[in-house]
């Protein structure tokens, strides 16, 4: 794995080097919240791209937990881009789905590694010359429009009713910007 700074020969098994988030479980009361990991995140000109890779399970399923969906939607609601891809590590990509700035959801489509690389490269081209967090990269926006025409998405409040409830979660933070 080229970008990882871990060497099993000198640092031990990679799994043994991962953080154990279990001690933090009681920090969230009885909510059932658990700390989530993200596989990659990039910042350019104050714009963010989150990448999260998932394995395709034995039956071909590509589930995402409710908590992670909420995380992705909230991140996109703050102006970030989220790309979730499914496949077999380290380099086989089979499907991709996205949340664009403003929390617009682009349903899952078949995709390979080259397609995923194109999405990331398009994001960088857009972010490199743009600081308008309200408009997605053109290629991503164009693809989203094509997908919607071919297969209109389910409204978020129908697909994930718990996410759309007003007065819960982080609705009051929409439009907030981090400082510090």
pLDDT digits (tens, 9 = 90+) for 81-92: 999 999 998 899
Mean pLDDT of the region 120-146: 68
> pLDDT tens, 69-83?
999 999 999 989 999
Q: Which CATH number fits domain 38-173: 3.40.1350, 3.90.25, 1.20.140, 3.40.50?
A: 3.40.1350
pLDDT band at residue 166, thresholds of 50, 70 and 90? very low
Better pLDDT: 165 or 133: 133
**CA-based nearest residue to 83, from 129, 144, 132, 34:** 144
Answer yes or no: is pLDDT of 144 > 80: no
Give CA separation, 143 vs 9, 76, 106, 130, in Å.
Answer: 43, 17, 9, 19
**What tokens were used for 102?**
């403003």
Element (H, E) at 87: strand 81-88
Q: Chain-centre distance of CA 20, in angstroms?
A: 21
pTM of the predicted model as reported, rounded to 2 decimal places: 0.66
pLDDT band at residue 158, thresholds of 50, 70 and 90? very low
Answer yes or no: is pLDDT of 160 > 90: no
Rounded to the nearest 10 degrees, the angle between the axes of helix 138-150 and helix 113-128 is 130
pLDDT the model gives residue 60: 67
Specify the DSSP class assigned to residue 106.
Answer: E
Answer yes or no: is pLDDT of 35 > 70: yes
Element (H, E) at 16: none
Q: Could you give the CA distance from residue 27 to residue 23 in angstroms, rounded to a whole number?
A: 8
pLDDT the model gives residue 156: 45
**CA-based nearest residue to 62, from 88, 91, 34, 100:** 88
Q: How many CA atoms lie within 13 A of 126 on its CB side?
A: 23
pLDDT the model gives residue 19: 83
pLDDT the model gives residue 75: 94
pLDDT the model gives residue 177: 37
Q: How many CA atoms lie within 13 A of 55 on its CB side?
A: 6
pLDDT the model gives residue 119: 95
pLDDT band at residue 162, thresholds of 50, 70 and 90? very low
pLDDT the model gives residue 168: 37
Answer yes or no: is pLDDT of 150 > 80: no
């Amino acid at each position: 794995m080229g970008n990882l700074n871990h060497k099993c020969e000198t640092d031990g098994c990679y799994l043994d080097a991962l953080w154990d988030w279990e001690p933090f479980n009681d920090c969230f009361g009885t909510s059932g919240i658990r700390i989530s990991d993200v596989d990659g995140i990039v910042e350019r000109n104050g714009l963010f791209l989150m990448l999260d890779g998932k394995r395709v399970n034995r039956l071909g399923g590509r589930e995402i937990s409710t908590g992670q969906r909420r995380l992705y939607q909230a991140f996109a609601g703050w102006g970030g881009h989220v790309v979730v891809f499914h496949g077999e590590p380290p380099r086989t990509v089979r499907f991709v789905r996205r949340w664009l700035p403003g929390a617009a959801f682009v349903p899952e489509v078949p995709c390979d590694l080259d397609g995923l690389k194109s999405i990331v490269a398009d994001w960088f081209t857009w972010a490199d010359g743009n600081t308008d967090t309200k408009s997605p990269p053109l290629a991503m926006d164009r693809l989203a429009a094509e997908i919607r025409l071919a297969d209109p998405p389910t409204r978020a409040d129908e697909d994930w009713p718990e996410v759309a409830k007003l007065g819960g979660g982080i609705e009051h933070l929409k439009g907030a910007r981090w400082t510090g």
